[in-house]
Structure formats: structure tokens, C-alpha cells
Structure 1
Amino acid sequence: MWSLRGLRLEAGHYFRLYERNASSTPRLTRNTDLKMISGFWTKPQESPKAPTQSYRHGVPPHKPTDLEKKILLWSGRFKKEEESPETIRFEMLGAAKNKFWVKVSYLMRAPDSGSLFYMVIEGKKAVKRRVFTSLNLERKACLREEAAMKAKTDEKYLCRLWESQE
């Protein structure tokens, strides 16, 4: 006994096989210079001008902008701006940008660590002046007073509650 799902799967399988066999032979047309590319018959693309220069990895060189030239200069790739060529590879530009961002991160660390040392020194001065100790003692005294007031009000409330139940 076949289930409905099984029948659908088998029908789809046979349909795909039929489609594959049917499309494997080209239809008769006037142009017989058809090529099969990824399962489809296509006409070859005719370009008006063939590439005159072949690039090493198939990627054309990049003409850097003024900012990219400065990044190349700051990263230490070139000594002077006049030394930079008209076109560069993307790999060279990527390496220069990475070096540039590392230098920027170092520059960002300098004020951060400076402010850290400043806060440590100020904290030690405040401890010598006993600023934190006096603030903590005042705060704890206030908390004790509030706890005592709350205990008195709770005690009065419980006494009234007890008297009303008797």
C-alpha cells in the first residue's frame, strides 16, 4: 500500500529524471554554437573588446583615494606621499588599514590608562583625608537611627494589635 506522501515523492523523482533527460539535448535552432553552463544551454557572450591586460589574481589594481594614501603613509608602508604608486593591491591597503587601526587603539589606550592612574592617586589622597571613612560612619549612623525608629513603630503597632485582640 502506497501512502499519499510516498506517491508524491516518487512522482517528483520521476519528473526530475524526465526533466534532466529532456533538457540534456539542445533544441534545434539556427545558431548551433550553444554551450551548456551549469545545466542550461546558453549562447556564448561576445564582448566587444577583449581584456588587454591580465591581472595576477584576476583582481584589478585599486586607485587609492587621498585618505587611503595618508593611511598608507601613516602605517609606514611608504616614507613620502610621492613614493606611493598610482595603483595598489587590495591586500596592501588592507594590511595598511590594520596597522593604522592598531596604532589608533594604542593611542586610545594612553588617555585611558592616564585617567586610571589619576583616579588611583586621587583615591589615595581621599583615604588620607579620611573622606570615605567619615562618609561611611555618617551613613551607618543614619541607617541605625532609621532601623531604631522602625523598630519602635513596629513595636507600638504590635502592642496595639495585641491589645485589640484581647
Structure 2
Amino acid sequence: MLRVLGGMLGRSHGLWRGARPGLHPTRASGGRAKGAEDAALPTAEPGYKTFQHDRRPTNFDKKVLVWAGRFKREEDIPKHISSELLEAARSNVRIKVCYIMIALTVLGCLAMVITGKEAAKKDQTLVRLNIEKKAKWRADVEKEQEAAVGKAQ
């Protein structure tokens, strides 16, 4: 019964007995042995290790690597660098930028608190400023109306 059900699903009957083919030591995914998979990767250059240096850094990447402290100068950066090195440097720079943004936010908040307290001491609240502004507008409207009545007479 289990063999029939396994055959219908396209799997071997060993699956139903608790065997896990993905964890079998001599079998890799795709049905090839692990040693054959490593041997199948050709290298373009004999001295070039696969995936060790897999990208050329751009000018921005060079600045990131220097700012992250991976290299002293842009001239010291090799022609090819690994993606892992660049990702680590970018993460380091992201953290530095976040720290800078946190510091600027705290400084901005402190500046707003200080200026707000100074304005409160001078009694320059938003309510008072709005009342003064509206009183000025009303005075301007009254002057315009008086000028319009004076021209009509």
C-alpha cells in the first residue's frame, strides 16, 4: 500500500519508512556525488580561486572600504575584492551612519527644547502669535474698508 502511494507521488518507498535522502552522506542534491560537484566547477585562470575575488570595486565602494577602516587609502585597495569584504564594510558604514543620525536627532531635540523654553520665557507662544497675526489682518481689512468708503463719498 505504501509503495503504491509512494509511486503515485513519484517518490521511493524508502521515504515512507523514515529515510531522508537529502541527508544521505553519499548523495548530494541532483543525484551527483559531492566530489563530482566540486570537480565540475572549472576555473578561468589556474591561479584564481573560485569566488575568492569576485568583483571590482567602484569608486563609491573604495570610499566605503576606506571609511569602514578596511584599507588606509584608496590606492591600497586591490583590483578585485570579495563580496563578503564589501558587505562587511557596508554594514560597518551603515552602523556609523546610524550613529551619526542618532546623534544629530538628539542634538536637534535638545535645540528645540532650549529654544522652546526661551520662547516660553518671552511669552512667544503659538497662540499669542496667531492672535497677533489675526488682529493685524483685521486691522488691515478695516483700513481697506474705510479707504473704500472714503472713495465712494
TM-score between both structures, scaled by the size of structure 1: 0.47
Q: Residue 11 and residue 74 in structure 1: after superposition, are their counterparts in 2 closer, same or farther (change >3 A)?
A: closer
Q: Residue 96 and residue 40 in structure 1: after superposition, are their counterparts in 2 closer, same or farther (change >3 A)?
A: closer
Instruction: Determine helix, strand or coil for the equivalent of 1:78.
Output: coil
- Which runs of 5 or more structure 1 residues have no equivalent in the other structure? 1-8, 22-35, 139-166
Q: Residue 19 and residue 128 in structure 1: after superposition, are their counterparts in 2 closer, same or farther (change >3 A)?
A: closer
The one of 79, 84, 99 aligned to 1:106? 99
Larger Rg over CA atoms: 1
Query: Which 4+ runs in 1 deviate beyond 6 A?
Result: none
- How far apart, CA to CA, are the structure 2 residues paired with 1:127 and 1:17? 77
CA contact (8 A) 2:3 2:12 kept: no
Is residue 81 of structure 1 aligned with residue 74 of structure 2? yes
In percent, how many aligned pairs have the same letter? 31
Q: Residue 19 and residue 70 in structure 1: after superposition, are their counterparts in 2 closer, same or farther (change >3 A)?
A: closer
Q: Residue 124 and residue 87 in structure 1: after superposition, are their counterparts in 2 closer, same or farther (change >3 A)?
A: same
CA contact (8 A) 2:6 2:12 kept: no
Is residue 127 of structure 1 aligned with residue 120 of structure 2? yes
Q: Residue 81 and residue 10 in structure 1: after superposition, are their counterparts in 2 closer, same or farther (change >3 A)?
A: closer
**1:4-49 Cα distance to aligned partner (Å, 9 max, x none):** xxxxx8695164499859xxxxxxxxxxxxxx985769xx9xxxx9
State the match for 1:59 in structure 2: 51
Question: Quick one: which amino acid aligns to residue 87 of structure 1?
Answer: H
- How far apart, CA to CA, are the structure 2 residues paired with 1:53 and 1:40? 30
- How far apart, CA to CA, are the structure 1 residues paired with 2:97 and 2:10? 62
CA contact (8 A) 2:63 2:74 kept: yes
- Which runs of 5 or more structure 2 residues have no equivalent in the other structure? 14-26, 132-153
Question: Quick one: which amino acid aligns to residue 5 of structure 2?
Answer: H
**1:116-165 Cα distance to aligned partner (Å, 9 max, x none):** 12111122113223445x86xx9xxxxxxxxxxxxxxxxxxxxxxxxxxx
Matched positions, count: 107
Q: Residue 69 and residue 125 in structure 1: after superposition, are their counterparts in 2 closer, same or farther (change >3 A)?
A: same
Q: Residue 125 and residue 111 in structure 1: after superposition, are their counterparts in 2 closer, same or farther (change >3 A)?
A: same
